[in-house]
Amino acid sequence: MSESKRIWAVEVAPSAINELCRGTLAEALGIVFTEIGPDYIRARMPVDHRTRQYLGILHGGASVALAETVASTASNLVVNPQTHYCLGLEINANHLRSIREGYVIAEAHPIHLGRTTHVWEIRIFEEGTDRLIGIVRHTTIVLSRLVQES
Please tell me which residue in 35, 68, 101, 126 is annotated as part of the active site. Answer: 68
Q: How many Cα atoms occupy the beta-carbon half-sphere of 142 within 13 Å?
A: 19
Query: Nearest to residue 127, comparing CAs of 64, 59, 58?
Result: 58
Is 107 labeled as catalytic in the residue annotation?
no
Are 139 and 90 within 8 A, CB to CB? Answer: yes
Query: Nearest to residue 30, comparing CAs of 81, 94, 106?
Result: 106
SS3 17: helix
Q: How many Cα atoms occupy the beta-carbon half-sphere of 60 within 13 Å?
A: 9
| Catalytic residue positions, numbered | 68
